[in-house]
Amino acid sequence: MAIKRFAAAAFGLCLALGPVAGHAADTVTIGFTAALSGDYAAYGVNMKKGVDLAVEALNKKGGVTYKVEAVDDRAEAREGVLIAQRFCSDQAVNVVMGYSVSSIALAAMPVYNDCKLPVLASAVTSPALSNSSPYFHRNVLTDAVQGAMMGTYAVKTLGLKKNLCPASAG
């Protein structure tokens, strides 16, 4: 289900990207970064599959060609910054998608902000990313919103009066 949602979001962004870019490009390059190896690879690999499905569907339509340049950030902030610098220096990259860990996106956002490269993230929920850059967008609710919704559900729907929330290491 998550792959289909991400694919739909990627598909929508790609459809909109051509006219927004303001030129008749033959190829739209999506820079994709997420944890594709290591402890968080399950997130990144599934997100990549969603992007690949969307790109395949777009390319079957003909016209503009979409391609993905995928880079593994290994869920490491240092890698995220280096990848952001790489995408910003590559004039072929039109948009960046991905990010499976909020701290990586947070580390990379100043780089994208400086080069004005748009980012669409699908799994980063840190409230600190909200309004971090006019070039950053996400299609997922923040932890603060999700937490409030879960709390309301637990009290109103499940009738719970007490709950325990374990702290996250990430």
At 116 the pLDDT is 95
At 168 the pLDDT is 60
Residue 159 lies in a domain: no
Q: How do residues 103-147 score in pLDDT, each as one tens digit?
A: 888 899 999 999 999 988 888 877 777 888 888 888 776 767 778
Number of domains in the chain: 1
Residue 152 lies in a domain: no
Give me the domain span that covers residue 75. Answer: 2-142
Residue 110 lies in a domain: yes
> Above 70 in pLDDT, residue 25?
no
Residue 156 lies in a domain: no
Residue 155 lies in a domain: no
- CATH number, domain of 124, equals 3.40.50.2300
| Three-state secondary structure call for residue 119 | strand
DSSP character at residue 127: G
Residue 77 lies in a domain: yes
Residue 134 lies in a domain: yes
Q: How do residues 32-51 score in pLDDT, each as one tens digit?
A: 999 999 999 999 999 999 99
Q: How do residues 73-115 score in pLDDT, each as one tens digit?
A: 999 999 999 999 999 999 999 999 988 888 888 899 999 999 9
> Above 50 in pLDDT, residue 2?
no
Least confident range from 8-12, 22-26, 93-97, 136-140: namely 8-12
Residue 157 lies in a domain: no
Taking the CB of residue 90, how many other CB atoms lie within 10 A of it? 13
Confirm if 122 and 99 have CB atoms less than 8 A apart.
yes
When pLDDT is cut at 50, 70 and 90, the band that residue 31 belongs to is: very high
Confirm if 111 and 127 have CB atoms less than 8 A apart.
no
Q: How far apart are CA 14 and CA 57, in angstroms?
A: 11
Confirm if 112 and 88 have CB atoms less than 8 A apart.
yes
pTM reported for the whole predicted model: 0.76
At 140 the pLDDT is 76
